[in-house]
Amino acid sequence: MFLTVGTTGTPEKPATDLGFLLHKHPGRSQAFSTSHGTAHVLYPEATAERCTAALLLEVDPVALVRRGQGKGRGGAPDAALAQYVNDRPYAASSLLAVALGSVFRSALQGRCTARPELPEQPLPLRVEIPALPARGGAELVHRLFGPLGWASVTAEPVPLDEHFPEWGDSRYVRLVLEGELRLADALRQLYVLLPVLDDAKHYWVAPDEVDKLLRAGDGWLAGHPEHRLITARYLSRRWGLTRDAMERLELVRLAEADGSEVEDIDNAVDEGQDTEERPVPLAERRREAILAALREAGARRVLDLGCGQGQLVQALLKDLAFTEIVGVDVSMKALSVAAKRLRLDRMGERQSSRVRLLQGSLAYTDKRLAGYDAAVLSEVIEHLDLPRLPALEYAVFGSARPRTVVVTTPNVECNVRWESLPAGHVRHRDHRFEWTREEFRTWSAGIAERYGYAVAYVPVGEDDPEVGPPTQMAVFTTLTADTTAATDTTPKEGEAA
C-alpha cells in the first residue's frame, strides 16, 4: 500500500524543500519499522522543479493476525483463511494512516527545525493514492475532501477486474488531490480520513483516540459538514467515545462563537466596583498577585491555562525571568485575539521563542503540558460545569503536574458589595458556579490531598472583614520532587524530531 505526495517549485523556491518539511532527505531511501511492518520513504523524483515523496508500507500479514488485528469489522474474527488472505497488505488503509502519523510526525505537527518558516507556507501539492478502500465510494470521497480547500479532488472507482468490466467496481478508488495547501494540513486530513474511508479500523479504539482525532482535526474538523460521520467512523462507532468527541467539537464551536465576550463582561464588573475606591482594576491586581506568586516560586517555564485573550501572557513576557510561556485555551477566537495583542507575527526571534499559544481543552490530559514549572488557572475553573471539574483536576494536577499551580476564582460572598450586580447573580453569564471562601478551600484542600500538593491562600483585592476579597487565590506546591511527567518521553514541541 502506498501514497505519494508531490510538489512543484522553482530554482528560488525548490520543490526539494519538501524533504525539509517531511524531515526525510530526498537523496536517500529510508526504512522504518512500524508495529505492522516496514514503512519505506523514497523519492521517485527530486529536482528543483518537481519533487515527489512516496510512503510505501510493507505490511506483515502474519504479524497482523498474531497481534489480533486481522479481525473484521466489529472485532469479530474472520474465517481462518480470510485472516491471511485479505486486503490489508495491499490497500491504503488505517495502517497507512498510522505509518503516516509516525514516519511524518513532525510534518503532521507542522514543525520544521531546519526551516521553521516552511510549514506555514501553502505549497502546490499533489497527493495520489492508487488504491484507497472507500466504503461509500467516490461520492463519499468527494464529500469528505471537497470542503477542505483542494482545487481538485479526483476519485476514480477501480474496477474489480479490468478484464471483466461487467463485474463492476471494487470498493477501491484511485484518489488524486491537487491544490495549494500547507503540507501539515494535507497530512492531518489524510491521517483522519484514510481510516474513515476504510471504515474497518484494525486496532482497538482506545480513549486517547479521541485526543488524536481532535488534534489531527484541529482547524478543519469542527467546521466540516460531515464531522459527525467522520467522528463516528474514526472512532469505529464506539458511541461513548463518539459522543465525547462530538461534545468537545461542540465546545470548540461554542468557544469560537463567543470567545470575545469573556473579557468585556468581566471588566465591566470590575469597573463598576473599581472606579471610585480603587484606581487599579481588579483584573490588573489579579495579574500582579499571580506574577508575584510565580516569582516567589522561582518559576521559569509557565503555562497559562485558559489564557483567554492573552493579558497575562503579555505581562509574563515583560519579565525575562520567565523563559517559556505557553498560553492554552479551548477558544480559537480568544487565541487569535491573544496572538494579535501579543503581535506574535511581528515579534523578534528572541521574544517569539519564549511564547506559544496552543489550542486545547483542559478537560483532557495533554502531553504537551507536561514538565512545566508552574501553571496558572486564572478565572477559569468557574467556566466548567461542576461534573467536568474532576477531569480538569486530573489533567492539571495529575497529568501535567507542574511544581506550582496558581488558581484564582471569584469569591461569591463578595458579590453583595457589587451594586450593579442583581442579588443572586453570578458575575459573568458563562460562570457555571461561584464559590464562597469555604467552598473554594474545601475544593483546594481535596486536590492538595489527592494529588500531593501543599496549598496556601492569598486574597486578591481589598480583603473585606465580613465578605472577604473579591478574588480568591490558591497557590499549590508539590510535596514531592517526583513528577509523573518524568515518565513521559514524548519530545516537547519545538524539540528536534
**Residues 370-389 vs ligand SAH: string with x where CB under 6 A?**
--------xxx--xx-----
What is the size of the binding site for ligand SAH (CB under 6 A)?
19
* Least spacing, CB of residue 322 vs ligand SAH, in Å: 16
Q: Which residue type sits at 484?
A: T
Q: Cα separation of 96 and 192, whole Å?
A: 11
| Interface pick for ligand SAH out of 186, 241, 330, 374 (rule CB under 6 A) | 330
Question: Mask: binding to ligand SAH, 301-320, rule CB under 6 A, as x and -?
Answer: -----xxx--x---------
Of residues 379 and 393, the one with the C-beta less far from ligand SAH: 379
Residue closer to ligand SAH by CB (options 273, 378) is 378
**Strand order from edge to edge, sheet including 471-478:** 355-359, 324-329, 301-305, 374-378, 404-410, 471-478, 453-460
Q: Give the nearest distance from C-beta 105 to ligand SAH in angstroms.
A: 24
> Is 293 or 362 the residue whose CB approaches ligand SAH more closely?
362
Q: Compose the 335-374 pattern: x for residues touching ligand SAH by CB under 6 A, - for all others.
A: --------------------------xxx-----------
**What is the C-alpha separation between 392 and 380, in angstroms, rounded?**
10
Please, which residue, 118 or 330, has the CB nearer to ligand SAH? 330
Q: How far is the CB of 18 from ligand SAH (least distance, A)?
A: 35
Considering the complex, state which of residue 11 and residue 387 has its C-beta at the smaller distance from ligand SAH.
387
Among 334, 339, 412, 414, binds ligand SAH (CB under 6 A): 334
- Residue of minimal Cβ distance to ligand SAH: 308
Query: DSSP assignment of 316-350, as one string?
Result: HHT-TT--EEEEEES-HHHHHHHHHHHTGGG--HH
Residue 209 vs 329, nearer CB to ligand SAH: 329
- Nearest-10 Cα torsion for 218, 220, 224, 226: -60
From the CB of 493, what's the least distance to ligand SAH, in Å?
17
The three-class DSSP label of residue 201 is coil
Phi, psi of 145 (to 5 degrees): -90, -20
Task: Please identify, using beta-carbon distances, which residue of 131 and 210 lies nearer to ligand SAH.
Answer: 210
329 binds ligand SAH (CB under 6 A): yes
Nearest approach in angstroms of CB 481 to ligand SAH is 28
Give φ, ψ of 379 to 5 degrees: 55, 45
Residues 226-265 that bind ligand SAH (CB under 6 A): 255, 259, 262
Q: Write the CA distances from 229 to 249, 291, 310, integer angstroms.
A: 13, 45, 35
Cα–Cα distance measured from residue 208 to residue 175, given in angstroms and rounded to the nearest whole number: 29
Q: Based on CB atoms, which residue is closest to ligand SAH, 17 or 329?
A: 329
Distance separating alpha carbons of residues 429 and 383, to the nearest angstrom = 9
Instruction: Report yes or no: 43 and 3 within 8 Å, Cβ to Cβ.
Output: no
Q: Closest distance between ligand SAH and the C-beta of residue 331, in Å?
A: 4
Give CA–CA dist 346/358, Å, rounded: 18
Binding region for ligand SAH (CB under 6 A) out of 95-103, 108-116, 133-141, 328-336: 328-336
Please, what is the minimum distance in Å from the beta carbon of residue 259 to ligand SAH? 6
For residues 404 and 381, give the distance between their C-alpha atoms in angstroms, rounded to a whole number: 17
Distance in angstroms (rounded) separating the CA atoms of residues 239 and 231: 10
In the region spanning residues 401 to 430, those forming contacts with ligand SAH, defined by CB under 6 A, are: none
Contact 467, 414 (CB under 8 A): yes
Q: Which residues bind ligand SAH (CB under 6 A)?
A: 255, 259, 262, 306-308, 311, 329-331, 334, 361-363, 378-380, 383-384
